[in-house]
Amino acid sequence: MRRIADCISDENGESVLEKFKQFINQHDLEEVIVTSMMLTVIISTWEDGIDERMNGPSLCSLYTILIESLCKRANNTKESFHGKLHRNCFEDTEYLQPNIEAIDLLGNAAFSLLFSSVREMSIVFTENEIRRYLNPKYRSV
């Protein structure tokens, strides 16, 4: 964690690592950062201001922010749910609504692949495995 945090600059000279540890403790994310992949993703989004958008210690809130960051990079179109709330954690999002069909398809694919009789311990899937579950218009994304 220290190596990654050392790469992040802080204009106030305060310890970035200490600030990050406070964020992790405040939001009870110790169990989420057990893999280097999740640690790197959380540090990256934390540097972009995730701490200002987290609503308490909520994995739903964390994952929603991560998904929204990916959607923003994939499609910069903004649209809110305007009262037609799709998921409770999606209430204050801007980039999920235009991508909700793809999010639902990926969610269904992840569920099917995680709970299949073939898959035992891995949460990583090949591109070909995911493509089987996607609508043809999303296969090039």
Report the pLDDT value the prediction gives residue 125, as an integer from 0 to 100. Answer: 74
pTM: 0.64
DSSP string, 16-63: HHHHHHHHHHHTT-TTGGGSHHHHHHHHHHHHTTHHHH--SS-HHHHH
The separation between CA 9 and the C-alpha centre of its own chain, rounded to angstroms, equals 23
Read off the pLDDT of residues 40-65 as tens digits, 9 standing for 90 and up.
777 777 776 766 666 665 677 778 88
pLDDT tens-digit map of 61-86: 778 888 888 888 888 888 887 766 65
Q: Is the pLDDT of residue 93 over 80?
A: yes
Give the integer Cα–Cα distance in Å for 137 and 69.
21
| Cα-Cα end-to-end distance for the chain | 31
Token pair, residue 11, equals 């204009």
Per-domain residue ranges for the chain?
1-55, 58-141
CA triple 118-124-77, angle to 5 deg: 125
